């Protein structure tokens, strides 16, 4: 489904070509035209809110732009969609296990909360990630080091 035509494209996995095109276009212009990049990422989400990599792109965009309120809103939507797809509890504090998609969204949540200065919430999310991912597949140890 996802066909990359440029060696500089980022591989997002098996996603529809039209969503891949929007994400690639957003990435290509994020430095030169942040507003256009945001439009591409938001369009990808509007078309297919079930494609989780679109949330990641938009959260990263908002972080780069230091738009932390927009980033936290987007990461919360990402978390909600990831748990909806997994059929897990909405509150990450209640997770008994987690998919890699859920862990990625929770790591982004912790990072954004750190950037927003919400230390307590960030630390709680980091601690939960460490419990759910003791092998550190998500790289939460790097985030934990940043938090100290």
78 or 6: which carries more pLDDT confidence?
78
Name all contacts of 100-107 with Cβ < 8 Å and 24+ positions apart: 100/137, 100/138, 101/52, 103/129, 103/132, 103/133, 103/137, 103/138, 104/52, 104/56, 104/138, 105/52, 105/55, 105/75, 105/78, 105/79, 106/79, 106/132, 107/138, 107/139, 107/140, 107/143
Q: How confident is the model at residue 60 (pLDDT cuts 50, 70, 90)?
A: very high
Q: How confident is the model at residue 119 (pLDDT cuts 50, 70, 90)?
A: very high
Mean pLDDT of 126-134: 96
Taking the whole predicted model, whether its pTM rises above 0.95 is answered as no
Q: Residue 6: what pLDDT? A: 66
């Amino acid at each position: 489904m996802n066909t990359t035509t440029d060696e500089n494209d980022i591989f997002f996995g098996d996603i529809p070509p039209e969503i891949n095109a929007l994400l690639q276009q957003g990435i290509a212009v994020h430095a030169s035209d942040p507003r256009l990049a945001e439009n591409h990422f938001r369009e990808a989400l509007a078309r297919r809110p079930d494609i989780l990599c679109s949330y990641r792109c938009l959260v990263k965009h908002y972080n780069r732009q230091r738009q932390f309120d927009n980033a936290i809103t987007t990461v919360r939507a990402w978390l909600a969609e990831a748990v909806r797809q997994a059929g897990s509890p909405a509150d990450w504090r209640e997770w008994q296990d987690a998919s890699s998609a859920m862990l990625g969204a929770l790591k982004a949540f912790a990072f954004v909360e750190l950037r927003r200065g919400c230390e307590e919430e960030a630390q709680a999310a980091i601690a939960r990630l460490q419990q759910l991912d003791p092998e550190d597949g998500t790289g939460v140890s790097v985030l934990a080091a940043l938090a100290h």
